[in-house]
Amino acid sequence: MAINVQIVAVEVNMHALDVHELYRFFHIGDDETAALRGVSLHVAPGEIVAVTGPSGSGKSTLLHCVTGLDEPDGGHVEVAGARLTRRPEAVRARLRAVNFGILLQSGNLFPHLTVSQNIRLQMLLAKVFDSKRMIILLDSVGLAHRAAAFPTELSGGEMARAGLAVALAADPPILVADEPTAEVDRETEMRLIEHFEARRRAGFAMLLATHSEALAARADRIVELKDGRVDSG
């Protein structure tokens, strides 16, 4: 069953997301690792952008900086025309809550809440609780039968799908997801891809880090990272 999505009205020519020359460095003792080296990209409403590249290329670091969960050492991010980078945490949190649905590789669920309670909490925080939508959302990720399960009772694939349901709970204008189909079977992957395409048709933006060739093939553009840089080929 597909989730009904609302058409997003966005000012003409405005990108949903603009990433300008991001740099991020990590230090361990005297050693410095450059995780991002001047990465720039944009995502328009109604567009899927896939971020690809080998493990360690900077994909996860990029998504953390893009959503304001981490601050870059250089460059900046704008979401719907508003600057996100180097703003007070309260400002970043507000912009994040309004604009992003976020799926990370871990830590997407509160362990003391059931799957449905996690989704409900996200909806309540966004002031958009809709019990019917929650049921449809659970069905769309194949977890209707696991709604009352706690995270510790889920398999890896179920955890990933539950995290995606939480990320989509408030129907965010931008979905940022780190390997959203990594731990699901082929049938579920295709179901999720169909949902992403439905969101694209409705005018939503998506930035998806992935190793999946099937998912990347459905993207409007592919940004390939290599050693923290956009690989121009």
- Domain architecture of the chain: domains with CATH: 17-224 (3.40.50.300)
On the question of pLDDT at 9 being above 50, the answer is no
Segment 25-29 shows an average pLDDT of 87
On the question of pLDDT at 7 being above 80, the answer is no
3-state secondary structure 107-152: CCCCCCCCHHHHHHHHHHHCCCCCHHHHHHHHHHCCCHHHCCCCHH
Strand order in 17-28's β-sheet?
31-43, 17-28, 74-79, 82-83
Distance from C-alpha of 56 to C-alpha of 89, rounded to nearest angstrom: 27
Percent over 70 (pLDDT), the chain: 94
Lowest-confidence segment of 18-22, 52-56, 200-204, 228-232 by average pLDDT? 228-232
pTM of the model: 0.87
Lowest-confidence segment of 37-41, 97-101, 191-195, 211-215 by average pLDDT? 191-195
Distance from C-alpha of 49 to C-alpha of 218, rounded to nearest angstrom: 9
